[in-house]
Homo-oligomer: A and B are copies of this chain.
Amino acid sequence: MSDRKDKIIEASIKLFNEKGCLNTSTRHICESIGISVGNLYYYFKNKEEILIEIYTRHLETIFKEVKLIDYESDDVFLFKDFLLNHIIEEEKHNFIYLELNAIVSKFPKFREIKIQNLKLNTELLKKLIKHQINYKYFIPLSNHEIDFLIANAWSIGLNSINYWNLLDNDLKLNRQKSSLNMYYLMKPYLTSKAYENGDLDEALDKLNKGLVNEND
């Protein structure tokens, strides 16, 4: 992977996060790293290809671990790995979640990749939840309930950060709150076994660290 290409990707991510993908022109990207427009188009056929490259790299990072899960092992998964480890990665690609639908309606090729991936991920999550049910970390759920739980997990994974960002500007804190959102979505379905080895409590402690305690 060429250095220049990486720089374009990084600058794009930075600007897309700062001002939105749709409000960032290819010229802006070039100016921000001091290269010519032509040079950007030497590395990328068009703006959509930049987006696709960013998204593809992001997904690779995100799902590396999920794909390697041992579905035969008796282990609680969701929170330690999925919620905590990927906070930084997700923070870096916030704009994808913030603007997804506007992006999807403007870039049809990206849309196709997104849909393809959504289907794949839905299957992976379904498998994962069934595994957690199987090993009694989750209470039993019907297929119907699992489908809607996944849909809700997707919405929250995508959007809860936006909610907190609209309310205040502490991005780091908001990312932690966003993870807690996922936890609270799942909590009603967790069994006591899920908490047994202390991993989950430990994870929650980390997340709550820094959060203003608002309990009554």
Q: Taking beta carbons and an 8 Å cutoff, which residues of A are in contact with B?
A: 19-23, 98-106, 111, 114-115, 118-119, 122, 142-145, 147-149, 151-152, 154-156, 158-160, 162-164, 166-167, 177, 180-181, 184-185, 188-189, 213-216
A sample of 24 cross-chain residue pairs with beta-carbon separation below 8 angstroms, ordered by A number, consists of A21-B102, A22-B22, A98-B101, A101-B102, A102-B102, A104-B166, A114-B166, A115-B167, A118-B163, A118-B166, A118-B167, A119-B167, A144-B214, A148-B181, A151-B163, A151-B164, A151-B177, A151-B181, A152-B156, A152-B185, A154-B160, A155-B155, A155-B160, A156-B156
**Inter-chain contacts of A164 with B (CB < 8 A):** 151
- Give A143 Cβ to nearest chain B Cβ, in Å: 5
The reply to whether B166 and A115 form a contact with Cβ atoms under 8 Å apart is: yes
